[in-house]
Amino acid sequence: MGSSNTTNPTVFSGIAAADDVKEPFRPLKPEDVRSYIHEAVDFICDYYTTVESMPVLPDVKPGYLQHEFMASPPTYPAPFHVTMKELKASIIPGMTHWASPNFFAFFPATNSAVAIAGDLIASAMNTVGFTWQAAPAATELEVLALNWLAQLLHLPDTFMSHTATGDRGTGGAVILGTTSEAMLVTLVAARDAALRRSGSVRVFGMPGLVVYAGDQTHSTFFKACRLAGFDPANIRSIPAGPETQYALDPAKLLEAMQADVDVGLVPTYVCATVGTTSSNAVDPVGAVADIAASFGAWVHVDAAYAGSACICPEFRHHLNGVELVDSISVSPHKWLLTCLDCTCLYVRDAHRLSDSMETNPEYLKNDATDSHEVTDLKDMQIGLGRRFRGLKLWMVMRTYGTAKLQEHIRSDVNMAKLFEGLVRTDHRFEVVVPRNFAMVCFRIKARGAITEEAADEVNRVLMKNPNKTGKAYFAHTVLSDRILLRFAVGSSLQEERHVRSAWELIKRTTNDLMMD
């Protein structure tokens, strides 16, 4: 009997032969692409069918997923259906379901069959359209889609790279990831312009530059200011109160800007908001722009959420005065059925933005760019690489048309009106600010033995207890030092019955609280 250490040459050669003919790794094997995507599509369809019955907020603890999966990546492959099984068993139970029709927190993150298809196709092509030459159709479709959206919003031609007659304009637009990016790039452009005006092109002039916004402006603005190099001491947060329905007061803005000029500082940038996060307040765009113009400051309009509503004639007046501002951003991924991420930034003078954002390394030089007949979108954003976001935006507008998009907006607004009416019929509640668009701010009011402080605590519990049930998800905010609930309608699957069901849940919770 031979030694156990003796190698069987026949077996060894057989293994070697098998290895020699083994099929190479092909990550885009057509049969796999078709099979995997079909399975993924089945999952997506089933998800949208069942998400209504899932808890909106998951009942998991921080770190739960570390106990579900291996600590180290696997060495050997697994069948795709095994991966999908683990997705369903471990990941889905830990998701907060923004797609749920019982989601009423924050602002909506809308989606549609067309947007999903567009995003899938863009991901499959995986183009990196930093220059026109790198992806001519991707660049031109993004420009076209942005021009279409600008027309839906009735933005002036000055924001378009090409006018209605086909002539090249001074404006420009780009699709970015989020409003934060739109704020950051325009802050940098405004900073550089102010430094040039003051005779300095170096950061030594930064301590003299000042930026302004109402205190209801989204917190990402103040973060973007710091990232752009503005001294935190020169970031003016102007208080807004119930007397203006929490909108920026032009008189207070003028007072603040003049006070800074009087001590030698340079007003540089003003951010106005159409649809603030806490209350959906609308800053007076025209009045703000008039004041800022007298100081030579850049004006940006953040219309991330509510800008989409302005495709409807009855809401367009909220953008009155936009022809006077320097930039405006709208996020169709919030309320225009175009999935995340899709923030559309428009600037009145594209060169002011590209002068600050432009990069021109030798390896990107080409005849198309040198001709100045094309737009290289890399020069209007922070990074170089970029996704083909224009495809899904174009597909949404092309497939649904203006009429269906307007119907979608109006349906959500009508459901919010319904909820507002239900709140007003219950004497225990108050609507804190007049409803704008599709969000209602309400609270259990202080009355009788319930002090303002006690009402705050009751309202906090009113939010937490329904959220714990998984049957709905609400969020809160603070206005004038008082806690209130925000009820944001807009999930793509929402119907009137979901709004009514949420109200019944709120009433039952309130009944229990009042009994306690």
CA distance 326 to 272: 11
Is-catalytic flag, 305? no
State the Cα–Cα distance between residues 306 and 493, nearest whole angstrom: 19
Amino acid type, 12: F
253 — phi, psi (to 5°)?
A: -65, -45
Cα separation of 59 and 55, whole Å? 8
CA gap 29, 483 in Å, rounded: 55
Establish whether the linkage from the previous residue to 157 is cis, with ω within 30° of 0.
no
Catalytic residue among 47, 305, 363, 400: 363
Q: How many residues does the chain have?
A: 516
Q: Fill in the amino acid letter for 290.
A: D
Cα 218 versus chain centre, distance:
12
- Quote the crossing angle between the two packed helices 285-293 and 250-262, to the nearest 10°: 20
d(CA 70, CA 148): 48
* Alpha helix (H) residue ranges in 436-495: 452-469
Closest Cα to residue 223, out of 198, 187, 196? 187
Q: Looking only at Cα atoms, what is the longest distance across the chain?
A: 103
- Catalytic machinery residues: 363
